Structures are given as structure tokens and as C-alpha cells.
Amino acid sequence: MSNIHSTAIVDPAARIDSTVTVGPYAVIGPHVRIGARTSVGAHCVIEGHTTIGEDNQIFQFASLGGIPQDKKYAGEPTRLVIGNRNTIREFCTFNIGTAQDLGVTTIGDDNWIMAYVHIAHDCAVGNQTILANNATLAGHVHIGDWVIVGGLTGVHQFSRIGAHAMAGFASHISQDVPPFMMVDGNPLAVRGFNIEGLRRRGFSAERINAIKQAHRALYRQGLTLEAAISTMTELMAEHPQGADDIALLRDFVASSQRGIAR
């Protein structure tokens, strides 16, 4: 295939669409599956049971599908699954899952993942996220849709970041970050909610106002967590156009196992 460089080493058992481009000195293992129009840069290593969708752009020196950095890993055939239209910049490292979780690390669609990002075993990254340079996700981290994680930010294992949240540069995230919130620092602090991001994504004024009221109940009125959850339930009836957004925030907070950034 003319679009695979002559110096690339591609295992004959790998299933690679005929439209995939593979750069010089790339190495692709036998259990790898790559979809149409994806490009793999020079010196990339893609190994393990890794499935990559269509129209992804993987830059040089990325390492995808390596075994977990987990001493409990014992060679189980766990997986890495990457969706469509993702940009994966230089020196990123994504690991396969472990048997102690669902056995799969997942990255959704349309994500912008900058250089040196590490996504550890059993992470679940949604769609339309931005992970800036050197963002590091420890094992079992869940990232919702439209999340932005600033450069040099570390996320502790088993932490969650809810949809539309934003974490600033060099933040230390060791508790769950609720949807829509803006956080930064070490120790982590909630600075407000992501109003500009919501505007850019087409949220109506009514929906933004509903999220604002829910943010006030959770962070500005001195309520206990239980009282804030109860207040958010009441706000759903008062703000029908934003009821689903408030429910997303309320249910995330109510289900937190690590506690929320507060």
C-alpha cells in the first residue's frame, strides 16, 4: 500500500483501512484496528488490542495501546478504543485497561489532545474535549463531554470531571469537578461556572440562568450538600428550560464517591 511508508513496521495481522496513512518508522502491532482516513505520524507506536476510528490525526512519537502502569496488570487482553476525528499531538501516551475495571480505556469523538498528554488505564474521555499540554489523567478517571483541562494539570485516580467543566493551568484535581464549573489551583478551588463556554456552545439565556441559580445553591448560599441538592430539585420546576442541565449537575453531585470540589 503506497500510503504506508516503506520503513514502517506493520504486523500483517493488523486491520488497517486502505485509506490510512502511516509515516516513517511507525510500528503497528497485530491486534490494532484503524479506520478510514486516519493518519499515523512518524515514529508512532500503536500496540495492544487497540481500535481507532475514522479521520483521526495522530502526530509523530505518540504511543498508544501500551500496557498499564499498574503493578496488578498480568497480561490480560484489555483494550484501548478511540473514536473518530480526534487530534492526538506529539508524545501522547494512552494505555489499555485493566481487569480490575471494565478492561477498556475509551476516548470518544472530536477531541483535541495536545502534546505529552497521558491517559492512563480505564479512563473514559467523552467527546469534544480539550486536554492541553502535559495534562495527566491517572487510572479510572472519567471526563465528560466538552471538558477543558489546562496544561500541566494532574487528575487523581477515580476522579470525575463533569460535562462543560473547565480546569485551569497546573491544577491539582483530587475530587470530582461538577458539570459546568470552573476550577483551578492547588488546593483546588471553584472559581465560578463556565458561562463563556456555554455561550459559545449555544446555550440559551434561560438555560444559563438556570445553571447560575444551581451554582449559587451549591456554592454561594452556605447550604449543606444535602440542602443544596434539595434546592436544585426545586429549581428544576422553576426553570423548565434548564431543568435537564440542573438535573445533570444535581445527579452528578449526588452520585459522587470522592466528594466534590467545593
Q: Nearest-5° angle of CA 72, CA 75, CA 81?
A: 100
By the 8 A CB rule, do 48 and 30 touch? no
164: annotated active-site residue: no
In contact, 193 and 180? CB cutoff 8 Å: yes
Pairing of strands 49-52, 118-119: unpaired
Q: How far is CA 131 from CA 34, 87, 88, 137, 151, in A?
A: 22, 10, 10, 10, 7
SS3 state of residue 231:
helix
| 139 is a catalytic site residue | yes
Out of 43, 49, 118, 121, pick the active-site residue.
Answer: 121
Catalytic residue, candidates 65, 139, 162, 168: 139
C-alpha cell at 53: 476510528
How far apart (Å, rounded) are the C-alpha atoms in residues 96 and 112? 20
Task: Give Cα 233 distance to the centre of its chain.
Answer: 28
Of the candidates 109, 122, 145, 245, the residue annotated as catalytic is 122
H-assigned helices in the chain: 195-200, 205-219, 225-238, 243-254
Give the span between the Cα atoms of 173 and 160, in whole angstroms: 9
For the purposes of burial, counting CB atoms within 10 Å of the CB of 251, is it exposed (0-12), middle (13-18) or buried (19 or more)?
middle
Q: Active-site positions?
A: 121-122, 139
